[in-house]
Amino acid sequence: MNRVLVPVDGSQCSLAAIRYLVDGHGQGRRPEIHLVNVQVPMNRDVGQFISGDDLAAFHREKSDAALAQARAGLESAGIPFEAHAVVGSPGDTIAQLAERLACDHIVMGTHGRAALAELLVGSTTVKVLHHARVPVVLVK
């Protein structure tokens, strides 16, 4: 089975990775797609003022919003997927999740919401490229 991890943050660049898959660029067998949104952990000091349950609900809400358009794109194309919402350092977490899920490759945008428009490749993308043990396809 061809397993693909697709990190999304709701940015247009990350949605280009979804269009890439919908348009059939991974020709051949239909891949097993794993969408992932990684939320950055809050500062430790925040834990003093917000309950763990409230913080988890906040991260879930943010992940759901970031995954919404990617889900809709895959659903409208009739492509099955599994969605993952995790908290951690995005670059490291994406590379680790690809390994844990035994993904064959990662398809992701060149940069996300946090990247400056002038940058060719965002910092999360660079970290994934350095840490991933599988091929990474970058889509702009």
Give how many domains the chain has, as a whole number: 1
pLDDT of 17 reads 95
Question: Does residue 13 surpass a pLDDT of 60?
Answer: yes
Which domain CATH number covers 98? 3.40.50.620
Question: Does residue 1 surpass a pLDDT of 70?
Answer: no
Question: What is the span of the domain harbouring residue 95?
Answer: 3-139
Question: Does residue 119 surpass a pLDDT of 90?
Answer: no
Q: Greater confidence, 56 or 26?
A: 56
Q: What is the token pair recorded at 127?
A: 């970290």
- 8 Å CB contact between 24 and 33: no
How far is it, in rounded angstroms, from Cα 110 to Cα 97? 19
